[in-house]
């Protein structure tokens, strides 16, 4: 996987998650939560929007993302693009709404696959808690007994997708290899069983 294309695609998807999905949803319902869906991710309430492969799905419409800006993509779906950074949270994708969106198909499939594995593992880890894809950091996660569990598609700390365990108070020891707790690269976790096993290892180390 070409890292440059992966990072570029991740940033573009992060921008869609905030400006095209979470932003319009927040304006209507004060709710920023998103969810993993087959082939991508989507809103949890109205407006019913989701990214599926290279398309934005809005009701019966399937809108090709390529060539659109964030503003024009939202407009084609009947909503107004809206950023949340600085208003709702301090970090985010920091995109310009008139910027043209570019997605690499292979990178998109890889990122969607990582989200799907994370969603499946989290649902098995704690069936009573609904995993949330947060538009601020663009990671899917849950919190259980003062420990955050999730999968990130990459960020400034690690450019590629990784699973993480983030205790509210990080214990000492070599297992805790990240500033926020522990992380494992998704390329080393081939399926949901492996992601779940990594999450479960926190019980031994804490």
For every one of its 206 residues, what pLDDT tens digit does the chain have, with 9 covering 90 and above? 799 999 999 999 999 999 999 999 999 999 999 999 999 999 999 999 999 989 999 999 999 999 999 999 999 999 999 999 889 998 999 999 999 999 999 999 999 999 999 999 999 999 999 999 999 999 999 999 999 999 999 999 999 999 999 999 999 999 999 999 999 999 999 999 999 999 999 876 65
Domain ranges of the chain: 3-104, 106-205
Q: Hunting for tokens 């009701």 — which residue is that?
A: 59
List Cβ<8 Å contacts ≥24 apart for 193-197.
Answer: 193/121, 195/117, 195/118, 195/120, 195/121, 195/151, 195/163, 196/121, 196/124, 196/125
CA neighbor of 70 nearest in space, from 47, 90, 48, 51: 51
What is the distance between the alpha carbons of residues 55 and 61, in angstroms, rounded to a whole number?
Answer: 9
Rounded distance between C-alpha atoms, residue 151 and residue 159, angstroms: 13
pTM of the model: 0.95
């Amino acid at each position: 996987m070409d890292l440059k294309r992966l990072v570029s695609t991740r940033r573009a998807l992060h921008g869609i998650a905030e400006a095209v999905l979470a932003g319009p949803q927040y304006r209507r319902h004060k709710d920023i939560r998103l969810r993993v869906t087959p082939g991508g991710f989507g809103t949890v309430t109205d407006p019913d929007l989701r990214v599926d492969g290279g398309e934005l799905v809005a009701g019966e419409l399937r809108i090709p993302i390529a060539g659109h800006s964030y503003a024009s993509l939202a407009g084609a779906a009947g909503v107004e693009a809206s950023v949340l950074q600085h208003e709702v949270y301090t970090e985010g994708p920091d995109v310009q709404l008139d910027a043209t969106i570019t997605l690499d198909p292979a990178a998109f499939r890889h990122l969607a696959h990582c989200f799907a594995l994370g969603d499946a593992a989290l649902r098995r880890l704690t069936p009573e808690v609904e995993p949330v894809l947060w538009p601020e950091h663009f990671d899917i996660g849950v919190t259980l007994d003062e420990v955050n569990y999730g999968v990130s598609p990459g960020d400034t700390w690690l450019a590629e997708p990784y699973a993480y365990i983030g205790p509210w108070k990080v214990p000492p020891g070599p297992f805790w290899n990240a500033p926020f707790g522990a992380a494992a690269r998704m390329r080393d976790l081939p399926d949901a069983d492996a992601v779940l096993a990594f999450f479960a290892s926190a019980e031994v180390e804490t």
